[in-house]
Every structure is written in C-alpha cells, then in structure tokens.
Amino acid sequence: MHVLTFNSGSSSLKFGLYRVDDGRAEMLLDGVAEGSGATATLRAGDRGREWTGRDLSDAERAHPLDGIATLLDRAGLPAPDAVGHRIVHGGFEVRDDCRIDDEVLQRLERARRFAPLHLPPALAAIRFAMARYPDVSQVACLDTAFHARMDEVARRLPLPRSYDEEGVHRYGFHGVSCASIVRRLGDEVPERLVIAHLGNGSSVTALRKGRSIDTTMGLTPAGGVPMGTRSGDLDPGVVIHLIREHGMDADALEDLFDRHCGLAGVSGIGSDMRALRVAAATNDDARLAIDLFCYAVRKQVAAMAAALGGLDALVFSGGIGEHDARTRSDVCAGLVWMGVVLDGSRNALAPGIVSAEASKVVVRVVPSAEDEQIALEVVTVLVTG
C-alpha cells in the first residue's frame, strides 16, 4: 500500500509518500513546506534528488499544498492508496485513530479551538486531500491517542467532576512522535523511560514498558514546559490578572499564550534556539530564555522519574532535542544526582547513545519518525476496520 502523509506542525507542513508492506514503511519521497506567501519554500527529496521552492510558480508558493501535489506528479511515483493526517487534538469527540468521513471532519472542525496553531492547517490538508484524491481513504492519526489510557490520577485535572465528565482533562500530545520512538527502540524499550520531545513545541512524557503514564501537556498543546512561542503552565492567577488589569478577552489571551510567550517572549528576540545561542553571548534576556527552558525541562524529567519510581533511560527528540547538544548538556547537568552522566564526545556526535559508560541512566538521541509512524498507523486502521 502506498500512503501519502501530511504532518501539520505549528510552523511547517511535512509530507511524505511511503510504501508500506508487512509492517515496514519505505520512504519514496518526503519534504516540508515552510512559510507563506512570497516567503513560502517547498523542499522535497527522493533518494538524494532534491527540488526546491525555486522550481515552483508564484501561485504554488502561495498555496503550498498545490505545490506538493505538483511535486508528487512530477516525481512519477505511484498514486497514494490512502492519505494519513497527523491530528494534534481531536477534542472531546475524536479520541482514537480513525477513517475521516464528513462526520469526523465536522467533529475535528469543532476541536480547532483546542489547538489553534495546529488544527487549521491540518484541516486544510484534509480538505485538499479529499478533493485531490476523492476515492482514496483519509485517516486521522491522533497525537492524543498515545496517551488515552493514562490512569485517572494522571489524566484528571484538579477540577470538579462535572468538568472532567465533559472532557476537560489531560490529553497529552506528541503521541505520534512517542509511538515512533517506542517502535524504533523495539526490544530496547526499558521498564522506565522518559522522552523529552523538545522543539517549537515541547513536552516530557513518562512511559512504563512503552506505555504513557504521564505527560506534561494537558488539555491543550499550550501546557507543560515553556516552548518556542507558547507559555507552558501558568498560575491561574496570571490569567485572572490579565483579564482584570489588562482587559484581555479569550482571543487576546489565546494569542498571547500561543504566539508571544516561551523562548520568544522571554528573550524578546525569537523562538529559534540557534539564534538565541548566538545572541546569548551578549544578550542577558536571550541567555535567560535558554536557562529558563532547560531548567523547566530538567524539572519535568525529574518529576516524570518520580512518577515512574526511578529512571532507566532518557530519550531526547524533536528539533532542539535532536540537534542542540548544549541543551542536552544543560538539561542533564542538573540530573547527575539521578545517575545521568553524559559523554561529551558522544553528545557532540548524536544521534545514538550519548551517555557515559558510568551513567546509571542510558541517555539517547532518537530522531522522531512521525511521518513513517503515520503511514504505519494508517494501514493499521484500514486493516482493522
């Protein structure tokens, strides 16, 4: 089966075409669309061959999904038998991976308020794929599904039961990434594992025998540790203060917490960790933003270890987790008391095992394979009905 995947993040749209056979997914083409309008770029590769946004017309740059379709046609690859869509949040009504029909699409439309950075582009990709491939099955692969079986003590928020019954509780996100890491580790998945998915969106998840038992993000992807532009967890009193003293309504609060906080808000520069590393040499706010981020992640790794009753392995993933050795070093430097000891040379050469031989906790860098995971999950949904 050939599966086309769309992976809508908060700052990009990734896509891929995979041949899935006997539980394995072979990548035929993958790429990413970033930016919008005149600044939109589109990159895709197939076994070393690469196309760029310069090959696209102005109209295609304005509508990256059309550009993606053009690339697929130009590559001469098989047409997809199914299309899989990463869905960050299905809201109260869509909890598990499923085929997308008109009813499911309506339910996802109602859930867009829970993930305003992610769901609008994901819904656009679904509508595009339905129109472009009308006779092909569309499948929703939910980030929240990986965490759906957490025990009530982790899932429940400290609110009256009536709110929990209407669906106001901890959902957890980055589930497709976590599932891909568990799959890639295979028999090496330990009893007590923590995954730190660090990027423009960041979360820390505790897994026992490969199953999520707790995670930092809550009702929405804005919760947990500070992120690129998202605030992470805040004292509810902050929200009340902003309403009373600054006259903010729900839309203004949502815009602030999703787009103007985190690394960007503290630094006053932006959310790109690479740029912040350069600026930190002379800019105190940039240095503080990095320190605050690493401090928050370190605290949550320790908290998840406490939830697990100890820690056997720590995995870093996501754009920052995979590519920024100093962030990994800064996070782990405060976890020596737990037996976490990095090897400097290994850390510089990641991915792979980056912990020292003497470390009691195995520390790994495992690149997330979300698109491949989506392709495999699509086939599972179609085969099991």
Cα distance between residue 205 and residue 147, in whole Å: 9
- Give the end of a domain, one of 104, 119, 142: 142
Residues 249-285: b if buried by 16+ CB within 10 A, e if exposed? eeeebbebbbbebbbbbbbebbbbbeebeebbeeeee
**CATH classification at residue 113:** 3.30.420.40
Query: What confidence tens digit (pLDDT) does each residue in 68-92 have?
Result: 777 777 778 888 999 999 999 999 9
Give the mean model confidence (pLDDT) for residues 170-194. 97
Q: What would the two tokens of residue 166 be?
A: 């209407």
Please tell me whether residues 127 and 228 are part of one structural domain: no
Please tell me whether residues 360 and 284 are part of one structural domain: yes
DSSP bridge pairs for 304 = none
- Give the end of a domain, one of 142, 167, 197: 142
Query: What confidence tens digit (pLDDT) does each residue in 335-367 have?
Result: 999 999 999 999 999 999 999 999 999 999 999
Supply the range of the domain harboring residue 198. Answer: 189-365
Please tell me whether residues 122 and 62 are part of one structural domain: yes
Give the global pTM. Answer: 0.92
In a domain, 204, yes or no: yes
In a domain, 30, yes or no: yes
Please tell me whether residues 63 and 206 are part of one structural domain: no
DSSP bridge pairs for 197 = 203, 317
Cis peptide upstream of residue 351 (ω within 30 degrees of 0)? yes
Domain count, the chain: 2
Query: What confidence tens digit (pLDDT) does each residue in 359-377 have?
Result: 999 999 999 999 999 999 9
CA gyration radius for the chain? 21
- Residue 143 a catalytic site member: yes
30, 97, 143, 258: the active-site residue:
143
In a domain, 235, yes or no: yes
Please tell me whether residues 128 and 239 are part of one structural domain: no
